[in-house]
Amino acid sequence: MLDIQIIRENPDLVKQGIQNKNVEIDFDKILKLDQERRDVIAEVEILKHDRNLVSKEVASRKKNKADTSELINQTREIGQRIKGLDDQQREVEAQLHELMLQIPNLPHTSTPVGTDASENPVVKEWGERYAPDFKLLTHLELGESLDLFDFPRGTKIAGPGFPLYTGKGARLERALINFMLDFHIDQHAYTEVLPPVVSNAQSMTTTGQLPKFEDDMYKIPQDDLYLIPTAEVPVTNIHQGEIIPEENLPIRYCAYSSCFRREAGSYGKDTRGFLRLHQFNKVELVKFTHPETSYEELEKLRRDAEDILEALGLEYRVIELVTGDLSFSAAKCYDLELWAPGEARWLEVSSCSNFEDFQARRGAIRYKPQGGGKVQLLHTLNGSGVATPRLLVALLETYQQADGSVLLPEILAPYMGSAGLHLK
């Protein structure tokens, strides 16, 4: 959520930033409600001052045994007017809050201005293109021949987009999750957490999923809970409503979770195999940082996700998102994309974002300066470290052999155990 003071003092700057995200917001209505709220508050303060003066006069008259009935009636009338204005203030604030929740975060000044993903610049490329002298198979062909997963039975159980991993495929999925968790804990000093896979409405609002993206989520109406679309939601809300000592920053968490997305409006797009799912696994990285160092921490976060891809020897590139392709809550974002040789295309496996104080304001997540002073909002960041479906696609297609088998990278050996690295 944006600070209303920023909108009030820099309306043109805010309007331009939001327009650069291809979003239209009625700022005139917001500023009108804000002014109405302030006018009501000012009027209430005047009335309270008047009531105090009348109350003092009542006390003085009582002391002198004078008649106070008229003044007491006057205080009652003032009290009723204050109550009416308090009700008006609550109604105006509710309307204003609802509108404020619709405003996306402002892009950071370093985010390139652009309309959509076609304008995203490539800022880094790593690895060599896998181009063997035999016909490359897709992950679907490899998975079927090696009995790694069974999409028809997954569909029978739950519906399209809910994969069933089998045999060595299930072992490989578990191996990737454990490998990434261990890597981030041991190499990058993250603290592991295992969060719930459901969150309440307040937690979803903190991270920006609500109210805008409710149609994209699975809801459990009986309990007013949502299946999480990403571990970013529960992990960011670990410190909801808390004040963190400055000396404890930055805080770094990594978490595995299943993720659930209805993908409303996306039917028919990239629906083959693991390219677009309703349920998938992901290792998530979340940071709580000091505002002055959050962009340094964003670069480190991106680097942490890249280390996973390099350790697995996979070709990847880094995309910097233009303003029109940024998510609702992000001020700046990098996407990491893997090259899938069988699909002959780039596949996104991670988004690394700085939300600045946007989520912290929604969730009242603050820090207390070490040298004293006013409590401040901190900055939150998150990135996939990484999501497994498209990682699995690139891994299988990159390490496939001429005989149709797959020889996995040596770094996964401790996690594959008796299943072995040679899938055949």
| CB 184, CB 254: distance < 8 Å | yes
Which tokens belong to 312? 């697995």
**122 SS3 class:** strand
- Same domain? For 250 and 212 the reply is yes
**pTM for the full predicted model:** 0.93
Choose the catalytic residue: 145, 348, 361, 405: 348
In a domain, 112, yes or no: no
Calpha distance 10→211 (Å, rounded): 25
Assigned domain for 304 exists = yes
Distance CA 12, CA 5 (A): 13
In-domain check, residue 248 = yes
> Domain range holding 223?
117-423
Q: Which of 203, 257, 350, 351 is catalytic?
A: 351
| CATH number, residue 50 | 1.10.287.40
106 in a domain, yes or no? no
Does one domain contain both 67 and 148? no
51 among known catalytic residues:
no
Residue 351 falls in the annotated catalytic set = yes
List the chain residues with pLDDT less than 70. 264-271
Q: Residues 85, 127: one domain?
A: no
Q: What is the CATH number of the domain that holds 235?
A: 3.30.930.10
Domain shared by 147 and 214, yes or no? yes
Is 232 part of the annotated catalytic residue set? no
Beta strand residue intervals within 194-290, DSSP E: 198-200, 219-220, 225-227, 243-245, 251-260, 279-289
Distances from the Cα of 158 to the Cαs of 162, 164, 271, 277, 278, in angstroms?
6, 10, 15, 12, 10
Establish whether 272 is a catalytic residue: no
Catalytic annotation present for 366: no
Q: Are residues 95 and 161 located together in one domain of the fold? A: no
In this prediction, residue 305 carries a pLDDT of 98
Segment (H or E) for 230? none
3 state SS of 123: strand
Q: Is 5 exposed, middle or buried (0-12, 13-18, 19+ CB in 10 A)?
A: exposed
Note whether 89 and 128 are same-domain residues: no
Residues 141 and 263 in one domain: yes
List, in order, residues 6 or more apart from 349 with CB less than 8 Å away.
309, 316, 336, 337, 338, 384, 386, 387, 390, 391, 394
Instruction: Please identify which of the residues 284, 297, 390, 397 carries the catalytic annotation.
Output: 390
- State the total domains in the chain: 2
